Amino acid sequence: MVMLELLPIIAFVVSFFTSQAGISGAFLLLPIQISLLNIASPIASSTNLAYNLIAIPSGIYRYRAEKRFIPALALSILAGSIPGMILGSFIRVEFMPEETFKRFVGLVLLYFGIRLVTAKKKSNVVGEITIKRADIFRVEFEFGGKTFDFPTLAISAISFVVGMVGGAYGVGGGALITPILVTTFGLPIYVTASATLLSTFVSSAVGVATYTLMGYPPNLEVAILFGMGGLAGIYCGARVQRYMPERMIRIILAVVVFTLAFRYLLKP
């Protein structure tokens, strides 16, 4: 069993890299809980979401301080992910037995890896965001000398599905929505990180409440130990993100994700 004293260090290392893509790192901490800490999967999912509540605020603060935050993008994600999170938590508890859940984890992680590897580079120029248009249907903004836009309603619809998966998997959904925003909607990863972290934070609060009401409260000791490391790791990751090439961020994530995916899919 992993010594509890090591949990903050593990969370720091994981979150330092994943936060640069707007991901809290919770999806990589779940296997540690299930396989090494022997925490039952519904409670492990709840604990992961509680970790997000402790760790994420530092990253949100850092990205907002650098003026790389689009409120409309965060709201579009939240509009779909919150109801999806509630439904996904219910599906996880009622319909997904242990072995099915492990295979599910593997497939989701495999999907993460494929999307990260195949995503095309958008820009390595980092600056401030200038909003040019924002309404209920579409948002257009300028970043790094280029103009980008996204349909708000489409992102909300996709976020609903992502929320269901995130609720079942025990993550806020940032690890799922980030590859979609980058590859499908063509948004630069330097812009999406702050919005996905905020949406993950809010949807995680909903998820913790849902799991607790269903009788699966988080393991607070593990959540706090992970959260201490994640709080520092996410802040540091957000601080240095602007200096990291986008492709390097994706490669680091993809290597870790593929390793975990094949472990779950090939484990007898």
Instruction: Express each pLDDT in 95-121 by its tens digit.
Output: 665 566 667 767 877 877 787 777 665
pTM, to two decimals: 0.82
Range of 142's domain? 4-266
Burial class of residue 154 (count of CB atoms within 10 Å of its CB; 0-12, 13-18, 19+): middle
Alpha carbon distance 122, 186 (integer Å) = 7
Q: How confident is the model at residue 155 (pLDDT cuts 50, 70, 90)?
A: very high
The rounded distance, in Å, linking the Cα atoms of 229 and 89 is 26
pLDDT in tens, 165-176: 766 665 556 767
How many structural domains are present in the chain?
1
- What is the rounded distance in angstroms from the CA atom of residue 148 to the CA atom of residue 70? 12
